[in-house]
């Protein structure tokens, strides 16, 4: 199926094309027609299924079609989401898919100065993506009201509940107009969530898609414990395996991406970095080189990698573990697409172990550890840490002496196959 069979308007189709999306994911194919038809939606879908576009595309389209030329922008759509990171990602999705529609969005979350947010609201905006606390705060101060809301999305409802936001959510619901279209997304549907959805939705249509874990399950995932100073050397070591034809490498920072690419080039591994400091043209060029297999390794930050869709990408390497566990799922989901096989290697330092725990909780599985590599972690872990990760090889114990660059896997041996 293609997006154009879903009655999506040209300005959005154009943007999707630019994002490199060729066909809708199952949650998109099912939800977009329901939302375009004006019906309420109850969707059971996790992060990684493409759920953001499933609500962002039809909301953008409906707002575009109803916008009266010259009218001041009012907040007509509210997306409520539990975390700042999700809010930012959703805002970016609206911006990306709506870039040819003139429909504007802004993101509101706490922990930062509110002045830029209130200044943006004052200029007029169509869509607000918010975390509950800051939204209520700004509403209380009179910086926005929800009287004009026509489209309301509750995203990650189960997490909202887990994070103790139910009181805030209920207060926000009370401020919404009764006549509205509501979309409810949750990865799981425990009884409290079903009850909450019943209080929000009117005769909802239901959509349920295979949980992201099934995508995660087909990817061969591995953790390599390593000290920070050895990350780049370990990466070079991994890439000495010539069966890795191409790999998408993730770093947390732009600076980190540049440094890794430089290090690889220095070791005769053809690499390019893409991140927000590079021009759109430079990023596109690097991506094209990677797709055409002129560059073996593309080093990217999460933001820059959004929308990268490379066919037959077999390897994702996380030089840094992401702080937000969903980001891990996004990253590794670049490989193993459309039934193809995929392998993910993630480096983890002592400082990153908490991120690893969050990731393993999200994906509900323990990621196998590869101990046999030449740069094992030398920093000894505290006792509690060591015992909590007991089943995971020697990572929590005094590490063996490094075996030098020639140790570990022999040439031609596929890393990870022993696990
Ligand atoms: P989400 O579940 O909304 O967090 O999306 C997961 C990832 O899939 C995001 O990185 C999106 O950019 C990407 N994505 C969403 N829809 C599509 C699509 N139709 N084709 C390819 N990638 C997509």
Residue-wise pLDDT for 244-264, tens only, equals 999 999 999 999 999 999 999
Distance, in Å, from the CA atom of 222 to the CA atom of 365, rounded to the nearest integer, reads 12
Ligand 1 in reach of 53 Cβ (< 6 A): yes
Is the per-residue pLDDT at 12 higher than 50? Answer: yes
Q: Which atom of ligand 1 is nearest to the CA of 93?
A: 12
- The helix/strand/coil state of 413 is coil
Q: Where are the beta strands (DSSP E) in 28-126?
A: 41-44, 77-80, 105-108
Q: Which of 24-33, 190-199, 373-382 has the lowest mean pLDDT?
A: 373-382
Burial of 348 (0-12, 13-18, 19+ CB in 10 A): buried
Is the per-residue pLDDT at 94 higher than 60? Answer: yes
**Average pLDDT of every residue of the chain:** 86
- In this structure, how many other beta carbons lie within 10 angstroms of the beta carbon of residue 104? 16
Ligand 1 in reach of 31 Cβ (< 6 A): no
Cα(330) to centroid(ligand 1), Å: 8
198 and 244, same domain (yes or no): no
The dihedral formed by the CA atoms of 8, 9, 11 and 15, expressed in degrees to the nearest 10: 10
Residue-wise pLDDT for 129-184, tens only, equals 999 999 999 999 999 999 999 999 999 998 898 888 999 999 999 999 999 999 99
pLDDT at 406: 29
Residue 403 resides in a domain: no
104-118 mean pLDDT: 96
Distance, in Å, from the CA atom of 342 to the CA atom of 220, rounded to the nearest integer, reads 6
Ligand 1 in reach of 307 Cβ (< 6 A): yes
Domain count, the chain: 2
298 and 218, same domain (yes or no): yes
Rg (CA), the chain: 23
Domain final residue, candidates 158, 181, 210: 210
Separation in Å, CA 111 to CA 81, 235, 312: 15, 35, 40
Is the per-residue pLDDT at 186 higher than 70? Answer: yes
172 and 317, same domain (yes or no): no
pLDDT at 339: 55
392-414 mean pLDDT: 31
Task: Provide DSSP, 340-402.
Answer: --EEEEEEE-GGGHHHHHHHHHHHTSPPPB---SSS---SPPPHHHHHHTTTSGGGGSPPPPP
Domain final residue, candidates 210, 238, 255: 210
Helix (H) or strand (E) holding 206: strand 205-208
Which pair of structure tokens corresponds to residue 142?
Answer: 């009179």
Residue-wise pLDDT for 309-339, tens only, equals 676 788 999 999 998 888 898 888 888 765 5
Q: Which of 14-18, 94-98, 136-140, 284-288 has the lowest mean pLDDT?
A: 284-288
Distance, in Å, from the CA atom of 203 to the CA atom of 213, rounded to the nearest integer, reads 29
Ligand 1 in reach of 52 Cβ (< 6 A): yes
Bigger pLDDT: 391 vs 84: 84
Separation in Å, CA 81 to CA 106, 107, 347: 13, 10, 29
39 and 27, same domain (yes or no): yes
Q: Which of 89, 91, 107 is nearest to 99 (CA)?
A: 91
283 and 313, same domain (yes or no): yes
247 and 186, same domain (yes or no): no
Confidence of residue 234 (pLDDT cuts 50, 70, 90): very high
Residue 237 resides in a domain: yes
pLDDT at 337: 64
Residue-wise pLDDT for 75-84, tens only, equals 999 999 998 8
Helix (H) or strand (E) holding 186: strand 181-186
Confidence of residue 418 (pLDDT cuts 50, 70, 90): very low
Ligand 1 in reach of 278 Cβ (< 6 A): no
- The helix/strand/coil state of 414 is coil
Residue 415 resides in a domain: no
217 and 343, same domain (yes or no): yes
84-92 mean pLDDT: 91
Distance, in Å, from the CA atom of 95 to the CA atom of 101, rounded to the nearest integer, reads 10
299's CB contacts (< 8 A; 6+ apart) are 249, 250, 251, 257, 258, 260, 261, 264, 271, 272, 273, 274, 319
86 and 202, same domain (yes or no): yes
83-98 mean pLDDT: 93
Residue 406 resides in a domain: no
pLDDT at 384: 41
Distance, in Å, from the CA atom of 205 to the CA atom of 182, rounded to the nearest integer, reads 11
User: Domain residues for 144?
Assistant: 3-210
Task: Provide DSSP, 224-250.
Answer: EE--GGGHHHHHHHHHT-TT---EEEE
We report the CATH number of the domain holding residue 224 as 3.40.50.300
186 and 223, same domain (yes or no): no
Ligand 1 in reach of 318 Cβ (< 6 A): no
Report the nearest-CA residue for atom 5 of ligand 1: 50
Provide the β-strand partners of residue 253.
none
Residue 85 resides in a domain: yes
259 and 330, same domain (yes or no): yes
Report pTM. 0.59
Placement of tokens 């139910």 in the chain = 166
pLDDT at 393: 35
Is the per-residue pLDDT at 389 higher than 50? Answer: no
- The helix/strand/coil state of 415 is coil
pLDDT at 21: 87
Residue-wise pLDDT for 187-207, tens only, equals 888 888 999 999 999 999 999
Residue 405 resides in a domain: no
13 and 26, same domain (yes or no): yes
Residue 419 resides in a domain: no
Which pair of structure tokens corresponds to residue 206?
Answer: 């239901």
197 and 261, same domain (yes or no): no
291-317 mean pLDDT: 83
- The helix/strand/coil state of 215 is helix
> Phi first, then psi: what are they for 134, rounded to 5°?
-65, -35
Ligand 1 in reach of 381 Cβ (< 6 A): no
Domain final residue, candidates 187, 210, 233: 210
- Which of 17, 53, 54, 86 for a ligand 1 pocket mutation test, highest count of atoms within 8 Å of Cβ? 53
Ligand 1 in reach of 51 Cβ (< 6 A): yes
Percent of all residues in the chain with a pLDDT value above 70, rounded to a whole number: 86
The dihedral formed by the CA atoms of 291, 294, 300 and 305, expressed in degrees to the nearest 10: -10
Residue 44 resides in a domain: yes
């Amino acid at each position: 199926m293609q997006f154009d069979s879903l009655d999506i308007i040209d300005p959005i189709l154009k943007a999707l094309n630019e994002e490199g999306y060729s066909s809708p994911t199952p949650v998109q194919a099912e939800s977009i027609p329901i939302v375009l038809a004006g019906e309420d939606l109850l969707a059971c879908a996790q992060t990684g299924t493409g759920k953001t576009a499933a609500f962002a595309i039809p909301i953008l389209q409906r707002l575009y079609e109803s916008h009266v030329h010259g009218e001041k922008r009012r907040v007509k759509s509210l997306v409520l989401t539990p975390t700042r990171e999700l809010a930012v990602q959703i805002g970016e999705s609206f911006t990306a898919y709506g870039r040819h529609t003139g429909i504007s969005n802004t993101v509101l979350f706490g922990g930062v100065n509110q002045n830029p947010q209130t200044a943006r609201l004052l200029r007029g905006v169509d869509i607000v993506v918010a975390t509950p606390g800051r939204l209520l705060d700004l509403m209380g101060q009179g910086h926005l009201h929800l009287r004009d809301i026509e489209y309301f999305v509750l995203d990650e409802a189960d997490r909202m509940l887990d994070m103790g936001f139910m009181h805030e959510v209920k207060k926000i619901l009370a401020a919404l107009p009764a006549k509205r279209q509501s979309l409810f997304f949750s990865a799981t549907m425990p009884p409290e969530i079903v009850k909450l959805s019943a209080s929000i939705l009117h005769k909802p249509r239901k959509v349920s898609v295979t949980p992201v874990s099934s995508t995660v399950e087909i990817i061969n995932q591995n953790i390599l414990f390593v000290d920070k100073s050895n990350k780049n050397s370990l990466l070079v070591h991994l890439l000495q395996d010539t069966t890795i034809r191409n790999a998408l490498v993730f770093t947390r920072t732009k600076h980190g991406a540049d440094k890794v690419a430089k290090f690889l080039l220095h070791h005769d591994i053809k690499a390019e970095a893409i991140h927000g400091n590079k021009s759109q043209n430079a990023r596109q060029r690097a991506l094209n080189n990677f797709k055409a297999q002129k560059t073996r390794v593309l080093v990217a930050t999460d933001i820059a990698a959004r929308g990268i869709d490379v066919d037959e990408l077999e390897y994702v390497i996380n030089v840094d573990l992401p702080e937000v566990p969903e980001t891990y799922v996004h990253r590794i989901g670049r490989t193993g697409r459309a039934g193809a096989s995929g392998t993910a290697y993630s480096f983890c330092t002592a400082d990153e172990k908490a991120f690893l725990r969050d990731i393993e909780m999200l994906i509900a599985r323990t990621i196998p550890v590869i101990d046999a590599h030449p740069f094992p972690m030398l920093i000894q872990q505290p006792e509690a840490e060591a015992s909590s990760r007991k089943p995971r090889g020697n990572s929590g114990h005094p590490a063996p002496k490094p075996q030098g660059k020639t140790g570990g896997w022999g040439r031609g041996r596929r890393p990870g196959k022993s696990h």
